[in-house]
Amino acid sequence: MATDRSLGRDVHFYDSSSPDKVLGGLMLTPSITERVFLFALGILICIDTPLRPTDEPLQPGKYDIKSNSPQGRIFITNEWCVTRILSQSVSSRDEVFRQRVRERDRKCVITGVANPDRHIAWNDWSSYHAAHIFPLSGEEWFIRNNYFRWITNREGTHDTGINSCQNGLLMLSHIHENNENCVRDELLRWHFRQAVLANMRGAGEPVFETDFPPGSDMVGEIRNGPDAIKRMEAQLFARLGGLSLV
């Protein structure tokens, strides 16, 4: 069963010419200002709507957007959104990725809580998660769009770069140091864009169940669910991530 991302939204936006049809929305957090909201709308809306950004906190409610186009309509982008799933891969290149992200970050970026030295000495990272910014499930898309050009520490011509520590951060952590292994700004900007596409457009992309009990028909459940092709591709690329694609 896929989870509906629109549940719990306290901000909704509409085309003023069709006020009964919601175009999308979001759940507010303290970091969302009017400027951030308008920047996100600029990713979704395919016209130039002159709105003046401010750094005031965005307020909950319903927002009507008026188009300046001759047609008088708001057009939402159909830009593709990468299907993200929980990766179960335990390949050797994933282990190198985890170790390099841990060595660089060493703490939670959201809370600022560092992993205690004694835990690091024991190699205990059970409370931390080295996460990919661009997901492993989208590696083919990563290659097809030449996104590996952003990775400057690839090891050889056959390394796609998706498992570079430049494409990762320690959840919930991040240190942005100016060195060869720091997180790439281009990937973070791409991730923000993907977050907007996945969460704010329409009802949002479906959030898929990743826990398949023993004996269950995983392939059958995927085939009979929403976005079966995209989800099957995501599962295959995540689980076959140890194979070289270039």
Q: What is the pLDDT of residue 244?
A: 46
Say if pTM beats, i.e. exceeds, 0.75. no
Q: Inform me whether the pLDDT recorded for 172 exceeds 60.
A: no
The secondary structure of 182-245 as a DSSP string is SPPHHHHHHHHHHHHHHHTBTT-PPBPP----TT--HHHHHHTSTTHHHHHHHHHHHHTTTS--
- State the first-to-last Cα distance of the chain, in angstroms, to the nearest integer: 35
**Owner of token pair 């499930």:** 137
Other residues' Cβ atoms within 10 Å of the Cβ of residue 70? 6
**Dist CA 207 CA 200 (whole Å):** 13
Nearest CA to 44 among 76, 84, 10, 4? Answer: 76
**Dist CA 96 CA 162 (whole Å):** 12
Each residue of 39-87: pLDDT tens digit? 898 889 865 556 677 899 999 999 988 877 666 678 888 887 877 655 4
Q: What is the pLDDT of residue 205?
A: 79
**Owner of token pair 């970091």:** 31
Instruction: Report the range of poorest mean pLDDT among 53-62, 171-180, 197-206.
Output: 171-180
Starting at the earlier edge strand, list the strands of the sheet with 61-65. Answer: 22-26, 11-15, 61-65
Q: What is the pLDDT of residue 164?
A: 92
Each residue of 106-148: pLDDT tens digit? 887 666 778 888 888 888 888 888 888 888 878 888 888 898 8
What residue segments make up the domains of the chain, in order of their start? 11-65, 92-192+219-239
Which range has the top average pLDDT, 16-20, 214-218, 228-232?
16-20
